[in-house]
Chains A and B, each alone.
Chain A
Amino acid sequence: QKEVEQNSGPLSVPEGAIASLNCTYSDRGSQSFFWYRQYSGKSPELIMSIYSNGDKEDGRFTAQLNKASQYVSLLIRDSQPSDSATYLCAIPGGSNYKLTFGKGTLLTVNP
């Protein structure tokens, strides 16, 4: 069974700092990796996807993938209070596109 591990936090950073969120996974064959952001009381929102080793940047967000070490991370630069949310790592499993989610990391950005 595929497993996805995240540090549940909470992670607290000051406004303007870099927030670093990490995720490890058990299945070496995984090819796709997703980061979701979930505000309290809301549904998850896809913010990043990454498929190849290395970095992928989108605005203030950078996803980093290292398949050899089986981890994927999300960096948030210039963190804002509006980034305060739970961040979920997800990996597809099986042939029917279902996702396995990590437990999520609660991020708080302090003004």
Chain B
Amino acid sequence: SAVISQKPSRDICQRGTSLTIQCQVDSQVTMMFWYRQQPGQSLTLIATANQGSEATYESGFVIDKFPISRPNLTFSTLTVSNMSPEDSSIYLCSVDGGDRGLEAFFGQGTRLTVV
């Protein structure tokens, strides 16, 4: 499976500011996804990062709040904009299994605390 590096691993941010999370994969992948995991909850898909086009957002998530870039097949960023304490979560980058199938593999996650 691909090696996925995500940074920062954690951050504490002031409300009203923005944080950009980076996700780097050691091989080219077709699909990259961004998930959010709120405390004690399961994973919720924020958006699919598409190379060469705008990201596809899930219901309840909008581009102004979570802008995403995907400049190439190995890299993506997620920005959490104008943060509030409700944005405190773990944010996870994942990639599909490629030739292996539909499995998702995850980066180590970014633990974000907004104060």
Contact = CB atoms under 8 A, between A and B. Distances in A.
A42 B108 contact: yes
Contact of B105 (A46, A92, A96): A46
Nearest to B109: A43
Interface residues of B, number: 23
A58 to B, nearest CB: 14
Interface residues of A, number: 21
Nearest to A99: B104
Interface in B1-59: 1, 31, 33, 41-45, 48, 56
B106 interface: yes
Nearest to B95: A97
B90 to A, nearest CB: 8
Contacts of B45: 98-100
15 contacts: A34-B102, A42-B109, A43-B92, A43-B106, A44-B92, A44-B106, A46-B105, A97-B31, A97-B96, A97-B104, A98-B31, A98-B45, A98-B48, A101-B44, A103-B41
Interface of A: 32, 34, 41-46, 49, 88, 90, 92, 96-104
